[in-house]
Amino acid sequence: MEVRNKKVFVAGLGLSGIALCKVLIDLKAHVIAYDEKDYAFLKDNIAEIESLPIEFKFGKFKRDTLKGVDLVVISPGVPVDSELVKEAQTLGIEVLGEVEFAYRFSKGPIYAITGTNGKTTTTSLLGEIFKNAGKNVYVAGNIGYPLIYVTTTATEKDAIVAEISSFQLETVKEFRPKISCIINITPDHLNRHKTFENYRDVKGRIFENQGENEYTVLNYDDEVVLSLAKKAKCKVFPFSKKKILEEGAYVKDGSIYISFEGSLEKIIDVEDIYIPGEHNLENALAASSMAYIAGIDANTIAHTLKTFKGVEHRIEFVDEIEGIKFYNDSKGTNPDASIKAIQALKTPIILIAGGYDKGSEFDEFVKAFGEKVKKLILIGQTAKKIRDTAVKHSYLESNIIFANTLEEAVKKAYENAMRGDSVLLSPACASWDMFKNFEERGKVFKKAVAELRR
């Protein structure tokens, strides 16, 4: 894709937007960088690109901002129905999402993973399998390292493992992975996608450009994912924890097997997988399937599953203080993710939850408490909504505590915990009401736990 001397408008100055600006300057484009937030709010974000020859614009979008622009590239945080995008379309200016733009520079094969939960773990795990197989691998996308950095660097011999979000899939046009995967689909981001059906269909776009010689790996235990299979023009490779499959990855007698192109091979005993929990078995099946189709041998896959320790902010053990264990699951940004975290712990739980309201309902989340969640400590925008849902489902109001900050929540959790309990941060909500992102939230939690130890 040729952008030299073209006027490119970059909308959104988060991680992706900053990366786009840097790469576009390297490619000799004329860059206009825009964000609806004020300069004062963004100055730390843009410090690394302020010295570059970029024209910056902040605040409310003005229609004349797009005068003379050849191309608009939007970050995932910019909705496709925004005034900016509509105006660009009216003027006949091409609008590309950040992932679509990055794809057009790609020489290396892309192994793309989406799903409501487990994307980051599965992406990191697949990257580790490729690395252990001796491949030069780049892990990028929604995982925190923008795809544009990778696609302008990777060669045909390299592997690009990409976590792709629904926000990124909204704007794909030609994006075509070598192998794609949908781990699961449960309600999320309904404030952006409006309906669950829209959200489901956006997730299905990950394989829409794949051809008959390419594969999509789909969870056959998830009815919503299964409903998308008929739309695939590529080959469908299923995985299941519950069913034995003629072709696919499955669990039988406590072991993972893969049946592919007429051969059947045992990969690993489930009890030998290092990261615990049913949700991680799902992630292991997904990553193993993609690796096996890509030609990685079973021994390398098994070795990685035995040694891979998971990712930061996902049911991450932080510390044990006076017999009380602390777990950071800040990546639990929707009810289903947090349900999985509650199910993964075997001890009584003091749960810290609440955050930015994405339009989720919390009934199933509260039902998952059972006898396990002894105390519920609530923070953020959704605190009252979760409290009301909990009380509706007969959770004792006397076991619900409000806190103004995460630090205060950690102190109150510690005060209410006993030896043998676990304090779990698993908010079931996004972080944007109180933090820049879930990473910052997780780090604040870990710092607060460290303060307790002091």
The tokens for 225 are 């994912």
C-alpha to C-alpha distances, 377 to 145, 239, 450, nearest whole angstrom: 32, 37, 19
Query: Is 118 part of any known ligand binding site?
Result: yes
Judge whether 115 is annotated as a binding position.
yes
Region of residue 292 (left: phi > 0; alpha: psi -120 to 50; beta: else): alpha
For residue 167, how far is the Cα from the chain centroid?
10
How does strand 7-11 pair with strand 71-74? parallel
Instruction: Give the C-alpha separation, 305 to 269, whole Å.
Output: 10
Task: Please tell me whether 198 is known to bind a ligand.
Answer: no
**Strand pairing partners for 36?**
none
14 is in an annotated binding site: no
| Residue 55: strand pairing partners | 32
Describe the strand order of the beta sheet including 349-353 as a list of residue ranges: 316-321, 324-328, 422-425, 349-353, 373-378, 400-402
Nearest to 363 by CA among 400, 340, 331, 395: 395
Residue 116 annotated as binding site: yes
User: Residue 119, annotated ligand binder?
Assistant: yes
Asked if 222 and 282 touch (Cβ cutoff 8 Å), the reply is no
Diameter of the chain measured on Cα atoms: 66
How far apart CA 44 and CA 38 sit, in angstroms, is: 12
Neighbours of 367 (CB within 10 A): 13
As a whole number of Å, the end-to-end CA separation of the chain is 55
The response to whether 252 counts as a known ligand-binding position is: no
Please state the three-class secondary structure of 361-393 as a single string.
CCHHHHHCCCCCEEEEEECCCCHHHHHHHHHHC
Output phi, psi for 284, to 5 deg: -65, -40
Q: Known binding site: residues?
A: 115-121
Q: Known binding site for ATP: residues?
A: 115-121
